[in-house]
Amino acid sequence: MALKTAKMAEQLELFGCIQCGKCTGGCPVARKTTLNIRSLIYHMLVDSDMDVDSHQELWDCTACFTCVERCPKDVEPAELVISLRGELVESGRVPETVGTALMGIFRQGNPSGMARQDRELWAEGMEETLKRAKQAAKEGCDLLYFVGCIPSYDQRIQPVARALLRTFENVGLDVGALGTEESCCGNEVRRMGEVGLFEMLAEENGELFRGVGAHEMVTTSPHCFNTFKNEYGLDGVDVMHYTQLLAGLIERGELTFSGSVAEGEEKKIVTYHDPCFLGKQNQIYEEPRSILQAIPGVELVEMDRNRERSLCCEGGGGRMWVEGTNLEERLAFQRVEEAAETGAEILAVACPFCLLTLEDAVKVRGLDEQLQVMDIMELVDLASEADSEADSEA
C-alpha cells in the first residue's frame, strides 16, 4: 500500500526544505545504512506516493534530532521519520521486537513487559524511603521524582535510581514518587510512530501528575525529561533532568562531598558523553559537567566531539528494541574508542540508554580493562557519605 505524500508533506511543512543536505550530512546512521532523510524529504515533495514498506531503514533512525538541530530552514526532518514509522505501525508492519515493546507498555506500563507490581523492586534496601516518598505523593508534594522504566526494572540501572533517591534523602529534599502507579513516559513510543498509545500515556500520566500537584518534576532519564518538558504540555510544572537539579544543589552548597572517587589525593580521568535527549535536544551541556567538576577525585577531559557535536550512542528513539539494518558497525563502538583515546578511565553518562549501549560496546571492543562506563549519579554516590552503595558493597 502506497502512502499519498501530499498531505503529510504539508502537515510537516517539508516545503521549506532547500535540499542543503545538512540533515543527512550530520545523520550518524547515514554512513552505515541506506537511511537518507534529505532524499526522503525530496521524494515526499516530488512523488505523489511512497512505498513506505520498502524503507525498512526507517528503523535505523535513533531520533537523536541532529538533523533538526542542523536544519537552517526550521524543517524537522526527524518528524518525517516518526510519521513514516507511524504509517508502518498503523498497518501493523513493524519489526516483531518493536511490537513486543509496545505491547509491554500497553499491558504493563513498561517496554520489557515486566509485571507492573514489580516496578518498585529497584528500591531494594530503601523500601522505607520509597514508602515515605509515595505517601508524600499521595498527600501532595512539591517535587515529584519520576523513576522511569529502565531504572525501575533493569538491574544495571537500578543503582542509579537508588543513588538519586539516597541523595535526595541526604540533602533533605522532600520528594514524592509514584511507585507501581508510574507508567512509561511514552517518549520512545512516540518516536516509534505509535502516536495513539503515546497520547493515551500522556493523558493518563498527565492526570496522575496533576493529582500530585507538584510544581517540580525530576527524572532519571533524559528521554522521560524530554517528553514531559516538550510534549506533555504540563503547565506550571518545572520539569528537570536530575543533572539540572543536582547542579543547582551543588552551586548553592546544599550538596557537598565528603569522599572521593579516587584513592587519597589521586584523580580519576573522566570523560563525559552528552546524551542526545539532554544535549542536542534540550541544550543541557554545562550542568552535567559542573557536577563532574565538583566531584572530588574527578579530572574531566573532553572528547573532540562534545556538546553540539556529540556522537549518538545509537540507543534512543526505539533503537533499544530494534537492531537496525547494519549490525556490524555500531556507533557505540566508535564512541567508546573516542573515549578511550582521551586516556579516560571512566566514561560518564547521564542517560540509562547511553549507559547500557556504551557499556556493552566497551565489553565487545575489549576495552573493559581500561574504561568503565558510569552514570554521573553513581559517581556522585561514590563520593558521598559512607552509606553509598559502593561503600556498603565494599
Partner 1 sequence: MEQEPRIGVYVCHCGVNIAATVDVEEVAEAATELPGVIIARDYTYMCSDPGQNLIKQDIREHRLNRIVVASCSPRMHEPTFRAAAQQEGVNPYQVEMANIREQCSWVHKEEEKATEKAKSLVASATAKAAQLDALEEREVEVTPAVAVIGGGIAGMTAALDVADTGLPVYLIEKQDHLGGRVGDLNRTFPRLESVSELLDPLIERIQNHPEVTLLLDSEVMQVDGYVGSFEVTVGTQKRSRSGELDERSIQVGSIVVATGYDVFDPDRKPEFGYSDYPNVITSLEMEERLAEGDLTVDGRTPERVAFIQCVGSRDTQLGNPHCSRVCCMYTAKQSRLVREMLPDSEVTVFYIDVRTFGKGSEEFYDEARSKGVRYRRGNVSEIYRKRSDPDHVVLVAEDTLLGKAIDFEADLVVLAVGMEPRDSASSISQLLKLPTSADGFFLEAHPKLRPVDTAMDGVFLAGCCQSPKGIADTVSQAKAAASSALIPLVRGFVPVESATAVVNEDLCAGCGMCVDVCPYDAPALDELWGVSRINAVLCKACGACAVTCPAKAIRLQHFTAEQVLAQVDALV
Does 301 help bind partner 1 (rule: CB under 8 A)? no
24 binding partner 1? (CB under 8 A): yes
What is the smallest separation between the CB atom of 341 and partner 1, expressed in angstroms?
A: 4
Among 308, 323, 329, 387, binds partner 1 (CB under 8 A): 308
Indicate the SS3 state at residue 272: strand
- The C-alpha atoms of residue 374 and residue 358 are separated, in whole angstroms, by 10
Give the shortest CB-342-to-partner 1 separation in angstroms.
7
Beta carbon of residue 271, minimum distance to partner 1 (angstroms, whole number): 12
Cα 283 from Cα 324, distance rounded (Å): 27
Choose the stretch contacting partner 1; rule: CB under 8 A; options: 32-40, 155-163, 168-176, 198-206: 32-40
Sheet containing 143-146: order of strands: 175-176, 143-146, 216-219, 238-241
Is residue 70 a contact residue for partner 1 (CB under 8 A)?
A: yes
From the number of C-beta atoms within 10 Å of its C-beta (0-12, 13-18, 19+), residue 264 rates as exposed
Of 340 and 380, nearer to partner 1 (C-beta) is 340
The SS3 assignment for 327 reads coil
In 3D, which of 354, 177, 327, 159 has the Cα closest to residue 271? 354
Backbone torsion region of residue 343, taken as left when φ is above 0, otherwise alpha when ψ lies between -120 and 50, otherwise beta: left
Q: Is 57 in the site for partner 1 (CB under 8 A)?
A: no
Segment contacting partner 1 by CB under 8 A, of 102-110, 156-164, 301-309, 322-330: 301-309
Q: Does 326 bind partner 1 (CB under 8 A)?
A: no
Chosen residue from 14, 27, 89, 130 binding partner 1 by CB under 8 A: 27
Among the listed residues 5, 8, 12, 38, the single contact to partner 1 using CB under 8 A: 38
* Site membership for partner 1, residue 40 (CB under 8 A): no
Q: Cell numbers at residue 368, please?
A: 573493559
Please tell me the distance from the alpha carbon of residue 266 to that of residue 78, in angstroms, as a whole number.
44
In the bound complex, what is the minimum distance in angstroms from residue 71's beta carbon to partner 1?
7
Residue list 98-127, contact with partner 1 (CB under 8 A): none
Count of other CB atoms within 10 angstroms of residue 73: 11
C-beta of residue 371 within 8 angstroms of C-beta of residue 336: yes
Nearer to partner 1, 127 or 341 (CB): 341
**Which of 129, 260, 293, 342 is in the footprint of partner 1 by CB under 8 A?**
342
What three-state secondary structure class fits 217?
Answer: strand
Q: Are 76 and 44 in contact (CB under 8 A)?
A: no
Of the residues 87, 287, 338, 359, which one makes contact with partner 1 according to CB under 8 A: 338
229 makes contact with partner 1 (CB under 8 A): no
Asked if 305 is part of the footprint of partner 1 (rule: CB under 8 A), the reply reads yes
Nearest distance in Å: CB 108, partner 1: 39
Out of 107, 215, 309, 363, the residue judged to bind partner 1 by CB under 8 A: 309
Amino acid residing at 269: I
User: In sequence order, what are the beta bridge partners of 146?
Assistant: 219
**CB-wise, 12 or 161, nearer to partner 1?**
12
Contacts of 160 (CB under 8 A, 6+ apart): 151, 220, 352, 355, 375, 377, 378
- Pick from 5, 22, 130, 187: which binds partner 1 (CB under 8 A)? 22
Residue pair 384/170 in contact by the 8 Å Cβ criterion = yes
- Work out whether 328 is an interface residue with partner 1 (CB under 8 A): no
Q: Which of 30, 144, 149, 276 binds partner 1 (CB under 8 A)?
A: 30
Q: What's the number of CA atoms in the CB half-sphere (13 Å) around residue 291?
A: 28
Which listed residue (5, 66, 219, 384) binds partner 1 by CB under 8 A?
66
Q: Which residues bind partner 1 (CB under 8 A)?
A: 18-27, 30-31, 36, 38-39, 66, 69-74, 304-305, 307-309, 338, 341-342
